[in-house]
C-alpha cells in the first residue's frame, strides 16, 4: 500500500465532501487546513477505509500525481509570496513610504494567495473526480463517523459538554 504522502497539500483532497466546513482551507496559509490534512492522510492510508470505499491502486496513482503537481505549484507560490512580503517590508521601511507602491505590493501578495487557493481548489476537484459518487459518499460517511469518534474520545467520561 503506497499512499504515503497522498493528500498533504490538497486541503480536503478527495475527502472534501467528508469535511465540508473546511472546503476553503488552504494548507499553505498558516493555520489553515492542518488538522484536516492529517485526518485525510491518515484516513486514506487506512486499508480498511480503502477497502470499504473500494479505492483502487489506479485511483491512488492518479491522486498521487495530482498531489505531486499541486505540491510543486504551492511551493512555487509560497516562494513568490515570501519574496512579495520582503518587497512590502522594504517599502514600509522607506523614509517616506509610497502609498501607491505599498498598495501594489499588497495587491500582488493577495493575487499570489488567490492563485494558490485556486490551485488547491482545482486539485481537490480533480482528486474528487477520480472517485466515483459512491466512493465519495462512503468516504463522507466514514469521515463523519471518525470525527464523531474522535470527539467522543476527547470528551472521555465528561458527558456531552463542559461541567458534566
Q: Which residue range is the domain that position 83 belongs to?
A: 13-149
Please report, for residues 72, 83, 90, 103, 133, the alpha-carbon distance to residue 98 in angstroms, rounded to integers and kept in the order given: 34, 18, 11, 9, 53
For residue 159, being part of any structural domain is answered with no
The C-alpha cell at 73 is: 505549484
Count of the separate structural domains present in the chain: 1
For residue 158, the model assigns a pLDDT of 60
Closest CA to 120 of 19, 15, 26: 26
For residue 155, being part of any structural domain is answered with no
For residue 101, the model assigns a pLDDT of 98
For residue 64, being part of any structural domain is answered with yes
For residue 155, the model assigns a pLDDT of 79
For residue 160, being part of any structural domain is answered with no
For residue 5, being part of any structural domain is answered with no
For residue 163, being part of any structural domain is answered with no
Per-residue pLDDT of the chain (164 residues; tens, 9 = 90+): 433 333 333 333 433 333 333 333 334 444 344 444 444 556 677 888 889 999 998 998 898 889 889 999 999 999 999 999 999 999 999 999 999 999 999 999 999 999 999 999 999 899 889 999 999 999 889 888 888 888 888 877 565 655 55
For residue 53, being part of any structural domain is answered with yes
Closest CA to 37 of 4, 62, 64, 12: 12
For residue 146, the model assigns a pLDDT of 82
For residue 6, being part of any structural domain is answered with no
Amino acid at each position: 500500500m503506497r499512499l504515503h504522502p497522498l493528500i498533504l497539500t490538497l486541503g480536503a483532497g478527495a475527502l472534501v465532501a467528508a469535511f465540508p466546513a473546511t472546503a476553503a482551507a488552504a494548507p499553505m496559509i498558516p493555520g489553515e487546513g492542518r488538522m484536516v490534512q492529517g485526518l485525510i492522510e491518515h484516513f486514506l492510508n487506512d486499508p480498511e477505509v480503502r477497502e470499504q470505499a473500494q479505492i483502487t491502486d489506479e485511483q491512488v496513482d492518479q491522486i498521487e500525481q495530482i498531489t505531486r503537481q499541486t505540491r510543486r505549484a504551492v511551493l512555487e507560490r509560497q516562494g513568490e509570496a515570501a519574496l512579495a512580503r520582503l518587497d512590502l517590508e522594504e517599502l514600509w521601511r522607506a523614509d517616506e513610504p509610497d502609498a501607491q507602491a505599498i498598495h501594489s505590493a499588497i495587491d500582488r501578495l493577495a493575487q499570489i494567495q488567490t492563485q494558490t487557493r485556486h490551485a488547491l481548489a482545482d486539485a481537490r476537484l480533480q482528486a474528487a473526480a477520480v472517485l466515483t459518487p459512491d466512493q465519495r459518499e462512503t468516504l463522507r460517511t466514514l469521515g463523519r463517523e471518525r470525527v464523531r469518534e474522535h470527539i467522543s474520545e476527547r470528551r472521555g467520561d465528561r458527558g456531552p459538554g463542559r461541567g458534566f
